[in-house]
Amino acid sequence: MPRLRKESAASFACTGSIRFLWHRAECGGPSRTAQDDDEKQATTTTRNKQQQRQQQEILERTASLSVEDKKGQSAEEVTMHEGIRGIETVFLLLLLFVVIFGDLARRLKVAYPIVLVIAGLLVSFIPGLPKISLNPDMVFLAVLPPLLFHAAWETSWRDFRYNIVTIFLMGFGLIGFTVLGVALAGERLFSLLYWRTGFVLGAIVAPTDAIAATSIAKRVGLPQRITDILEGESLVNDATGLLALEFGVAMVVNGTTPSFGAGALRLIYLVVAGIGIGIVVGWVVHWFELHIDDGPIEMTLGLVTAYASYIAAEEAHASGVLAVVACGLYLSRKSASFFSPGVRLQAYALWNAIDFVLNGLVFVLIGLQLPFVLAGLHSYSKVTLMVDAAAVSALVIALRLLWIYPGAYLAYFIRRRLLKQDEPMLPAKQIFVTGWTGMRGVVSLAAALSIPETMKNGQPFPSRNLIIFLTFSVILVTLVLQGLTLPPLVRALGLGGAGEPDREEGEARRLMLEAALEHIEEARENDLPEFARFYDDLAEHHRERLAAVLGHSDTGTNARQFARQQAVALELLKVQRKILVHLRDEGRISDSVLRRLERELDLNETT
């Protein structure tokens, strides 16, 4: 996994110092002879080239983008100011793509990762647009931590623990099965790979993408248990896949095969240390949160926590992925003790926006990588490339389906016989859908791009460009083919519709309202008689809400009355909003007053 580059700040400081000193030498230096002038000119040219290279390195490290203009002029020939301005334009275009095609996906009722990847793919063919390359450091260090943190925060610990056997069998066992399967097929099925490079490719394409799978699964209404398994699998399999990639690259570079014992010890340390660091960071942040009651500060602390847990684990050579997941699960479980209602609403909106923007950017960038993927394949036959791409994609899908059935029975055996859990076996239809929902995403592409270009002896890394191309092909096939066919498959198998969360939510609402009614009755008895009418009205309101939740035939009238009251209440809120805007337009109230009162109305409507 790529490490944090610590030299960026030093390089920037060094470049600034060089520019300042050279400016003084040009402006304040004594006169020279013609020979000295020639030497100065040569030195100036050399230093200018060095500055340009250093400036380009800064741009690449800070923006993680490589920008070329319409005429093919490289970024090394662009000044610092022009480069930054170009990067701003590129980010603006990317955000516009995310907004436009994200809304298109909503209108088409298609999961937005699919539409964004296809859109990026089509845009990459438009001539004259800037070429944007995906930097793996940007993915691992800037994008992955907040996405994992939010995904872990939204994951139910109860459901994660309930399905932990299945999750770990898929997060570790399925990853190993896929890596070995692709490695063994490297020499036998693919004419352009051998088993070590096949091992590297298998490690790259083995992990599934959390957002791609779960966004599609939730849209089509899969049973909650399948969604829980898919979410849990994608939270842990990145760490296993990246560890396998680490060993695969070492095998190719060094020409040796690590022992099984060394690999097992490394995996144990990776998992235990990563989870431990994540929990420690979560405990420290929880302590701070108990002493803070300020929305912006708590939002910032949450974002910092995601990066802090990841970087701390990476510096300890543990799994940053598992550290972020453990930290997110821990803090999510404890959040009820430190989040106020206002902060909780702010956090929900903020993290949803961060999640959409980051995921939208990376899926568009996946599609935009096609020119770079094809750039290094001129020496390969197009027919051979297409055949190998189709073969690898089919193999990856087949390996998951081959594992999923015996893996499900093994998980059932462990739960029933060893853990003594009274849990039913997943139906065969649900097992198949779980196997079909194995989309790959940006982590796989970033892992492929992180492969070193050269080995220790200076020779190029074998088949590096081919591995990147095959990874891109697997992402495209699994995301588009499986993603588009999953909804009709779910409907054909009859797996869509409401599930357990709806029943659990109804039960929770019933218990909440019954507890509220009991408390109202106790408060009425202990309060002054003059307030009895107030408690009676309050109790009647809660009884109407309870009747609407229960939906009993004998309480149908009350339920209809409650529904009508809700509709009228919404109409009244709209009337009040119109009055607020009218008062603001007439200058009778300020915009700050408008926003405060609008917030009150919004909170009333959401409750």
Q: Which two tokens stand for residue 147?
A: 């996405």
Average pLDDT, integer, range 297-317: 94
Structure tokens at 233: 């699998």
Mean pLDDT on 481-485: 89
Looking at the chain, the whole-number percentage of residues with pLDDT higher than 90 is: 27
The answer as to whether 356 is a domain residue is: no
Which domain range does residue 232 map to? 135-341+371-497
- pLDDT band at residue 205, thresholds of 50, 70 and 90? very high
- Looking at residue 305, what is its pLDDT? 96
Assigned domain for 3 exists = no
Write down the residue that tokens 């170009």 correspond to: 86
Taking alpha carbons only, the member of 205, 214, 209, 213 closest to residue 177 is 205
If asked whether residues 457 and 520 sit together in one domain, one would say: no
Say yes or no: 551 and 476 in one domain: no
Model pLDDT, residue 425: 84
Same domain, 251 and 319: yes
Q: What is the pLDDT of residue 192?
A: 67
Of 497, 513, 547, which marks where a domain is finished?
497
Residue 46 has pLDDT above 60, yes or no: no
Q: Both 157 and 48 in a single domain?
A: no
> Using an 8 Å Cβ cutoff, are 84 and 55 in contact?
no
The answer to whether residue 167 is domain-embedded is yes
Residues 561 and 462 in one domain: no
Which band of pLDDT confidence, cut at 50, 70 and 90, is reported for residue 44?
very low
> Per-residue pLDDT for 324 more than 90?
yes
**Same domain (yes/no): 323, 409:** yes
4-8, 193-197, 231-235: least confident range? 4-8
Q: Give the pLDDT confidence of 541-556 residue by residue, as tens digits.
A: 888 888 877 775 444 5
Residue ending a domain, choose from 440, 468, 497: 497
Q: State the pLDDT confidence band at 298, using cuts at 50, 70 and 90.
A: very high
477 lies in the same domain as 519: no
For 69, which DSSP code?
A: -
> Hunting for tokens 């909170």 — which residue is that?
603
Residue 565 lies in a domain: yes
Highest-confidence range of 2-11, 32-41, 56-65, 154-163, by mean pLDDT? Answer: 154-163
- Percent above pLDDT 70 for the chain: 81
Q: For residue 384, what pLDDT is reported?
A: 85
Domain annotation covers residue 193:
yes
Determine the average pLDDT of the residues in 301-307: 95
Domain shared by 412 and 458, yes or no: yes
301 located within any domain: yes
How far out from the chain centre does Cα 216 lie?
14
Q: Where do we find the tokens 């300890």?
A: 316
Q: Is the pLDDT of residue 168 over 70?
A: yes
Res. 467 pLDDT band, cuts 50 70 90: very high
Reported as a single tens digit per residue, the pLDDT across 587-596 is 888 888 888 8
Q: Count Cβ atoms below 10 Å from residue 443 Cβ, excluding itself.
A: 28
Read off the pLDDT of each residue in 299-321 and give the average, rounded to a whole number.
94
With beta carbons less than 8 A apart as the criterion, state whether 153 and 325 touch. Answer: no
Q: What is the pLDDT of residues 251-279, one digit of tens each?
A: 888 777 777 788 888 889 999 999 999 99
Q: Is position 44 within any domain?
A: yes
The answer to whether residues 150 and 256 belong to one domain is yes
Looking at the structure, tell me whether residues 257 and 193 fall in a common domain: yes
Residue 381 confidence (pLDDT): 83
Q: Single out the residue in 475, 497, 519 at which a domain terminates.
A: 497
Residues 391, 527: one domain?
Answer: no
**503-525: average pLDDT:** 87
Same domain, 492 and 508: no
Summarize the confidence of residues 322-338 as an average pLDDT: 92
The verdict on residue 98 lying in a domain is no
What is the domain count for the chain?
Answer: 3
Using DSSP's 3-state secondary structure scheme, residue 454 falls into: strand
State pTM to two decimals: 0.78
List the CATH number of the domain containing 281: 1.20.1530.20
